[in-house]
Amino acid sequence: MSQINSIDLDNLAQNIKVWAKALGFQHVGICDVDLSQHSDHLKAWLDKQYYGDMLYFPERGMLRSDPAQLVPGTVRIISVSMDYLPPDASFAQHLSDPTKGYVSRYALGRDYHKLVRKRLKQLGDQIHTYCADTQFRPFVDSAPILEHAVAEKAGIGFTGKHSLTINPQTGSWSFLGELFINLPLPIDSPIADNCGTCTACKSICPTGAIVSDYVVDARKCISYLTIEHQGAIPEQYRAPMGNRIYGCDDCQLVCPYNRAAPLTQESDFFAREPLHGNSLLNLFSWDEQMFLRQTEGSAIRRIGYAKWQRNISVALGNAPTDTVISTVLHDKSKHLLAIQVMLNKPETLENPEKASQLANIARTYGFSEIPSLPDITMLIEHLSWALNTHGQSSLSRQQARLVRSIQKGLVRDA
């Protein structure tokens, strides 16, 4: 007979919550696998192609609303959250200084995927020790899961109008994870939506990406544009990006529930100095090897060197007039144009001497290897734009309003 039928599931559920908190999770809840109430919302989002370049959404789209198909035998999902807001987040200082690169605060520390997944695995192992018939599988942004819908149903928080999970006591600065499990544990009650008439996140979004309540058009979102988007960033979104070179936190910064958000106790999520408040020129000067060294263990590394350079070139185009910036942009453009000319000649890579010459020019720019022609073409266009717009931009009204709110204490500046 299965051990599942003989254990006290209510007691186990309580133990799971104790174990999860001992592992560093601030909130934990349990829900069933019926997410069918979210199917229409998901289908409408997919039909409008709000996913942009993230083609894994339509490829496994509706599977997200049916977790039991993802892991057969799953009857419950344990949803957890872990705070990540680092000490000394310095929101106002960095957003108000267009010469510094702004990195979304979740990415300033080590990559959360591994840490949260490791802790979830430890939680699953503890449950397995209690019940040997337990089968489980942990997920952290690694499968087609409606993680915010799961968190809401498990009582972790409610989904805000910016589409992120908000806990009424601790806000939204948290990572989510899920443990799919085959135990029919007692479920928790959902938390009702409590955004009310507030539209702070919608009005502050620099690009208008929150197109309606609870609906984000990723194609307009700065986080998407600087991380997931392949190729050139559409020109209409470049000036609104300001100095944001990886992600954006504006919609969370203005959320009233984040005014008293707790700071993380996980040292792995503390800000790493080379990425935190560094000047755009310093960041732009990194060659590919330096980029890989400074982003080792960071979520930033996965975007690659070319997109890193692309993002910073936009920020430099939005920076105040500076002859050093103009010179750097011009010199970088010159090297890229030389690479482009050689890559446009099919015989270049076939001729060892010319290929070696090309590799040397690429290294002069900062590439470790000969880059692709699409990457070079993309960077040339962005540097040309930056040269043409450099010194013409100023802090947007929205960004200036956000900074004033932070300075007045209306928004937490950790």
The predicted model gives 313-321 an average pLDDT of 97
- The pLDDT-based confidence of 411 (bands split at 50, 70, 90) is low
pLDDT of residue 1: 47
CA distance readout (Å), 377 to 205, 222, 230, 264, 381: 29, 22, 13, 41, 6
pLDDT of residue 405: 78
Which tens digits make up the pLDDT trace of 149-190? 999 999 999 999 999 999 999 999 999 999 999 999 999 999
Helix, strand or coil, per DSSP, at residue 179: strand
Asked whether residue 44 carries a pLDDT value surpassing 90, the answer given is yes
243 contacts 64 by C-beta, under 8 angstroms? no
Active site residue 141: yes
Which tens digits make up the pLDDT trace of 66-125? 888 899 999 999 999 999 999 988 998 899 999 999 999 999 999 999 999 999 999 999
pLDDT of residue 75: 97
Q: Measure the CA–CA gap between 154 and 65, rounded to whole angstroms.
A: 15
The predicted model gives 17-33 an average pLDDT of 98
Which tens digits make up the pLDDT trace of 382-406? 999 999 999 887 777 778 888 887 7
pLDDT of residue 394: 74
Active site residue: 32, 53, 133, 141, which one?
Answer: 141
Q: Measure the CA–CA gap between 387 and 181, rounded to whole angstroms.
A: 54
Which of the two residues, 343 and 143, has the higher pLDDT score?
343
Which of the two residues, 197 and 4, has the higher pLDDT score?
197
Asked whether residue 414 carries a pLDDT value surpassing 60, the answer given is no
Asked whether residue 286 carries a pLDDT value surpassing 60, the answer given is yes
Average pLDDT, rounded, for the chain: 93
What does residue 259 show for φ and ψ, rounded to 5 degrees? -65, -30
Kind and range of the H or E run holding 122: helix 112-130
Say what percent of the chain tops pLDDT 90.
82
The predicted model gives 291-319 an average pLDDT of 97
Lowest-confidence segment of 1-15, 201-215, 250-264, 282-296 by average pLDDT = 1-15
Closest listed residue to residue 223, CA positions, set 104, 91, 105: 104
286 contacts 300 by C-beta, under 8 angstroms? no
Residue 139: partners with Cβ closer than 8 Å, 6 or more residues away: 117, 120, 145, 147, 177, 178, 179, 180
Closest listed residue to residue 170, CA positions, set 266, 265, 260: 260
Asked whether residue 322 carries a pLDDT value surpassing 60, the answer given is yes
Kind and range of the H or E run holding 81: strand 76-83
Give the length of the chain: 414
162 contacts 221 by C-beta, under 8 angstroms? no
Q: Which two tokens stand for residue 291?
A: 């980029």
Asked whether residue 5 carries a pLDDT value surpassing 80, the answer given is no
What does residue 411 show for φ and ψ, rounded to 5 degrees? -125, 140
Say what percent of the chain tops pLDDT 70.
98
Q: Measure the CA–CA gap between 280 and 265, rounded to whole angstroms.
A: 29
pLDDT of residue 85: 96
Q: Measure the CA–CA gap between 207 and 164, rounded to whole angstroms.
A: 17
Q: Which two tokens stand for residue 47?
A: 């039909």
Q: Which two tokens stand for residue 96?
A: 């108000």
User: How far is C-alpha 45 from the chain's CA centre?
Assistant: 19
Asked whether residue 45 carries a pLDDT value surpassing 80, the answer given is yes
245 contacts 310 by C-beta, under 8 angstroms? no
Q: Measure the CA–CA gap between 260 and 167, rounded to whole angstroms.
A: 11
- The pLDDT-based confidence of 126 (bands split at 50, 70, 90) is very high
- The pLDDT-based confidence of 249 (bands split at 50, 70, 90) is very high
Q: What is the DSSP string of 41-55?
A: HHHHHHHTTTTTT-T
